[in-house]
Amino acid sequence: MSNLDREAVPTLCGGRGFVVAEPVRELLSPRHVKLGESTEVRRLLPNLGRRMVGAWAFVDHYGPDDIADEPGMQVPPHPHMGLQTVSWLHEGEVLHRDSTGSLQTIRPRELGLMTSGRAISHSEESPRPHARFLHGAQLWVALPDSHRHTDPHFEHHADLPRVTAPGLSATLILGELDGAASPGTTYTPIVGADLTLADGADLSVPLEPDFEYAVLCMSGETHVDGVPVLPGSMLYLGCGRTELPLRAESDASVMLLGGEPFDEELVMWWNFIGRSQDDITQAREDWMTGSRFGEVKGYDGDPLAAPELPPVPLKPRGRVR
Ligand code: MN
């Protein structure tokens, strides 16, 4: 998915200054963002209160939306730089096309992982015909400096490893949890897992004390370390935990996102992650002049134009709140 916010403002993120070293419980409220005419998403990262969780730099939760008589998701070709996109569905399907020639339908609990490296472009659309409901999350992972110029590529993993326990079924999206490991390529120590909890489940999942974590509620109600978290909200948990208590008050599902705190300071604007304003300015110019980002074949429509860059230079990084 693309950041379709026309008021695109550069965000400075990354660096240890934002990380909370101890266990905390910070409930993050979403910002409601319109994507096109009909779709509204709930943006959890970047958030006024928090920019990143490990290398996770962008989290949108959308749906469940009834798209029976609607086009559904229609995101025209747009570029990315310096990041990986994770497409994650609970209901519906998304057809992905990209400038490396990928053409892939992504279904619930399958991983669509696109590594932009230095430059890629892609489109995402609800296929025709499509399922009645669309429900999922779109996430970005920042690439470290050592890999941000890598070749672009796309991975699709339909059969991800699972961890089960009474009342719990966990699917590994990225990284490792309780001995299971996702086949998705990662460039920093990171984890992403989808946890399905049965009504009344009361359990703990093992964590890495050096990672920072957050839990995004997808559906139902889950008490995360005692804090009720409802769909479209995310609880930031800080670092220093070896386990996380979860109690489901209904059938519920959450995404566990974590990783080693991301040391490098980043500039994020529109669909790009760079290290300087010059990186961003150059990427915007390359997209608008049709260079570097390749071409998406087969999408019925024009590519997205980049928004205007704000005239003022980037402000120094502020505090988290
Ligand atoms: Mn995108």
175-204 tens-digit pLDDT: 999 999 999 999 999 999 999 999 999 999
Mean pLDDT over 244-254 rounds to 98
Q: In this structure, are residues 304 and 311 in contact, taking their beta carbons and an 8 Å threshold?
A: no
pLDDT band at 17 (very low <50, low <70, confident <90, very high): confident
Ligand 1 center–CA 144 separation, angstroms: 19
User: How much is the pLDDT for 37?
Assistant: 66
Mean pLDDT over 307-314 rounds to 80
How far is residue 258's CA from residue 267's CA, in Å, rounded to a whole number? Answer: 21
Query: Would you say residue 309 lies in a domain?
Result: no
Query: Would you say residue 294 lies in a domain?
Result: no
Higher-scoring residue by pLDDT: 24, 318: 24
Query: Would you say residue 157 lies in a domain?
Result: yes
Ligand 1 center–CA 74 separation, angstroms: 11
CA neighbor of 153 nearest in space, from 106, 108, 101, 111? 101
Mean pLDDT over 51-79 rounds to 95
User: How much is the pLDDT for 5?
Assistant: 59
How far is residue 185's CA from residue 115's CA, in Å, rounded to a whole number? Answer: 9
pLDDT digits (tens, 9 = 90+) for 96-111: 999 999 999 999 999 9
21-25, 34-38, 110-114, 180-184: which has the minimum mean pLDDT? 34-38
CA neighbor of 104 nearest in space, from 118, 120, 123? 123
- The total number of structural domains in the chain stands at 1
User: How much is the pLDDT for 16?
Assistant: 74
Query: Would you say residue 2 lies in a domain?
Result: no
pLDDT band at 316 (very low <50, low <70, confident <90, very high): very low
80 is in an annotated binding site: yes
Higher-scoring residue by pLDDT: 103, 9: 103
Query: Would you say residue 1 lies in a domain?
Result: no
Does 320 have pLDDT greater than 60? no
Give the burial class of 228: count Cβ atoms within 10 A of its Cβ; 0-12 exposed, 13-18 middle, 19 or more buried.
Answer: middle
Ligand 1 center–CA 240 separation, angstroms: 33
Provide the residue range defining the domain that includes 160.
19-259
32 is in an annotated binding site: no
User: How much is the pLDDT for 178?
Assistant: 95
Query: Would you say residue 274 lies in a domain?
Result: no
78 is in an annotated binding site: yes
124 is in an annotated binding site: yes
278 contact partners, CB below 8 Å, separation of at least 6:
none
Q: In this structure, are residues 8 and 262 in contact, taking their beta carbons and an 8 Å threshold?
A: no
What tokens does 315 get? Answer: 């402000």
Mean pLDDT over 24-29 rounds to 96
Ligand 1 center–CA 225 separation, angstroms: 33
Query: Would you say residue 13 lies in a domain?
Result: no
User: How much is the pLDDT for 313?
Assistant: 66
Average pLDDT over the chain, rounded to an integer:
93
Does 212 have pLDDT greater than 70? yes
User: How much is the pLDDT for 2?
Assistant: 67
Ligand 1 center–CA 91 separation, angstroms: 19
User: How much is the pLDDT for 319?
Assistant: 37
Query: Would you say residue 41 lies in a domain?
Result: yes
CA neighbor of 263 nearest in space, from 44, 50, 18, 26? 18
Ligand 1 center–CA 55 separation, angstroms: 17
Does 10 have pLDDT greater than 80? no
Q: What is the CATH number of the domain that holds 224?
A: 2.60.120.10
Ligand 1 center–CA 79 separation, angstroms: 7
Distance of alpha carbon 318 from the chain centroid:
23
pLDDT digits (tens, 9 = 90+) for 260-307: 999 999 999 999 999 999 999 999 999 999 999 999 999 999 999 999
Please give the share of the chain, as a percent, with pLDDT higher than 90.
87
